[in-house]
Structure formats: C-alpha cells, structure tokens
C-alpha cells in the first residue's frame, strides 16, 4: 500500500479498495477503504504505532482492523466525523461488522482451525 511513489510503502495483510482508480493497480493501492493487519508479537508495536499513524492520513480509509494471532480478539477502528476514529473491540462469540464493505461474520470464523499455544 502506498499513497504516492515518494511515500512509505507497507504490505498490509488484507487491503480492500472499491475505487475504480485502483482496479488495475499492479504495484500499489492508492485509495484503500479497509486495511487489516494480523498481529504477532513481532509486528504488534509497528501495526499499532507507525503503520496506524500513517494509515490515519489516508483520506479514503474507512476502517482499520487488527486481528490478534495469540487469542480471540479483534479491534476495529472506524472513521467517525472529522478527525475522530471510533474503537470497537470484539472477543469470543461476537459478530464482527465491517460497515465499509457491508460485511458481518462471527469472530470464530476468523479463528477456525487455529490452535493457540495455551491449547497445545
């Protein structure tokens, strides 16, 4: 994901754009609507800090999702009015709603077949 050829370049785990300008993008998406990062102990700080700060500057971005890889936990940041971002935490048995792409699913579907270290 990159805003301009001169700006920073990141590889989100999932990126969704509904902008026609990104339809034939080969190298980078310029107008993302949704960005998803899967957190690991090694990437959590960067995904929550440097990347999140950068992503907030993208005018087209509507939602930023963080999926924990070590427990059932999803964090959703949704653009509000002005510069406000709304925070929605999800845990076991919750239904995750992604309003930017009109999508809902049970959180357990994201973790299907995942074995956590404490369960081994």
Contacts of 32 (CB under 8 A, 6+ apart): 1, 12, 15, 16, 17, 22, 58, 60, 61
Model confidence pLDDT, tens digit, residues 46-103: 999 999 998 988 999 999 999 999 999 999 999 999 889 999 999 999 999 999 999 9
DSSP, collapsed to helix, strand or coil, labels residue 113 as coil
Domains and CATH numbers, the chain: 14-119 (3.90.1570.10)
- Report the predicted TM-score, pTM, of the whole model to 2 decimal places: 0.87
**Alpha carbons 70 and 87: distance in angstroms, whole number:** 20
Q: How many CB atoms lie within 10 A of CB 16?
A: 18
Alpha-helical runs (H) found in the chain: 44-48, 50-55, 107-110
Q: Which of 66, 111, 106 is nearest to 88 (CA)?
A: 66
């Amino acid at each position: 994901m990159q805003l301009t050829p001169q700006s920073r370049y990141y590889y989100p785990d999932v990126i969704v754009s509904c902008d026609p300008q990104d339809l034939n993008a080969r190298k980078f998406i310029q107008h993302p609507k949704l960005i998803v990062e899967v957190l690991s102990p090694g990437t959590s700080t960067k995904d929550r800090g440097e990347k999140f700060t950068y992503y907030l500057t993208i005018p087209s971005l509507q939602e930023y999702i963080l999926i924990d890889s070590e427990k059932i936990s999803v964090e959703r940041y949704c653009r509000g009015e002005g510069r406000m971002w709304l925070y929605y935490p999800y845990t076991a048995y919750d239904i995750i709603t992604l309003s930017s792409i009109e999508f809902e699913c049970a959180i357990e579907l994201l973790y299907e077949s995942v074995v956590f270290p404490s369960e081994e």
